[in-house]
Structure formats: structure tokens, C-alpha cells
Amino acid sequence: MVLALVALSDRVFSAASGLNIIPTADFYSRGTLALEAERGGIVSNGLDGGDTSYYVQAGIGRGIEAGYDKCSDGHQFCAWNFKVALAYRDSQPALALGAQNLSAGLKWQPYVVGHLSLGRARLHGGAIAIEGDIKPMLGCDAPVSGSLTLMADVITGSENAASFGLAIGLPQNLGLTISYVRNHIGTDRHNYLLLLGWYPQGIF
């Protein structure tokens, strides 16, 4: 499954492993590297006038993940993120603590998130601090087949958004995520995200 996070508002940027726009308690395994490029923008503008982002994320150890994010075009920023597992269920991380937007000039955003299994689907929930306000976040994911996963998530607050997307596993450790993102307010509320990633394992 392809895991990424970006929000089209001015408030949330990150690429820790997660759903479309929220982080989750999932982790890349130790030695796995995620190299991702993402294009996001307003649906009515097509691929023109959007933002291009680049992410490098690494599984550093069991239940430890960190990464570096770079966004160009409309939003110019570079930032670090990290995430650690707080609790495990059936030997897998079930609760995580993390932080994103770790850079001079940005307000860092700590969060806590966990998940519960509901048959083949999973329900994700947690909270993130955005400019001093605690914002609940919810999400779910469910496999459609061995290479397709449906994902939906939301971060509350007028500056944030909700989304629905499809993650597609491709050969050679490649993955593609296609998402529709709807801002809670604003004149341009309908947005898209296209993310292409390469996820080699056993790098270190």
C-alpha cells in the first residue's frame, strides 16, 4: 500500500506514512526507503497551477520513522518529520506519536494516532495540534484486491479538508495514489493529489 500525507490548505504539510491526508500508526519497516513525488492542485485547473512536492521517508528501526519534505511552486518549504510507536497489538504498531513541520519558520505539529481492525478494513483516529488548536482526525482504509486499497480521511477545522483516494501497488516496488481532496471552506474546495512513489527495501 502506498502511504502519504499532504493537505492543500496552508496549515498541514507532511509525508509520514499515512492515508491521503492524515498520518497513521503504520510504519515503514527498518531499511525501507520511500522516495515520492506528488502533484496537487485545484481540479478545475487540471495539472497547471498546482504544487509539486518531494518526500524522502525512512524506516529507521522497529516502530521508528523519519523523513524530509520539500515543496516547491505555490508553497515553498522544507521540513522534517518523525514518528515513534507507543503501543503494539499482535506484534504490530497500533498507537503512534509523531511530529511534522519541523523547520525554522514553520509551526511544528505534534500528533497522536491509532487504529482498530474491522474485518479487512481499519479505522484510524487521533488528534493533531495545528497552530495551538487540537484537531481530531479520522480515517479508514480497506483493500479491494492485492494491489488496490481504498482510503478516506478527514481533519476537522475550517482550514483543513476531507479526502477519498485509491492506492495502487505497481511492480518493482512502485506505487501510485490518486486522491480527491475537498477543503472545508473556500471558493476552490475541490482538489486532487497524484503521488508516485518508489519503496525499495533492505537499503540499510
Task: Provide the grid cell at 192.
Answer: 486532487
Contact 71, 53 (CB under 8 A): yes
pTM above 0.85, yes or no: yes
Q: Sign (positive/negative) of CA torsion 109, 112, 117, 118? A: negative
Map out the domains of the chain with their CATH numbers.
Answer: 33-198 (2.40.160.40)
Contact 35, 186 (CB under 8 A): no
Per-residue pLDDT of the chain (204 residues; tens, 9 = 90+): 333 333 333 334 455 789 999 999 999 999 999 999 999 989 988 777 788 999 999 999 999 999 999 977 566 779 999 999 999 999 999 999 999 999 988 899 999 999 999 999 999 999 999 988 999 999 999 999 989 999 999 999 998 999 999 999 999 999 999 999 999 998 889 999 999 999 999 988
DSSP states along 83-100: EEEEEEETTEEEEEEEEE
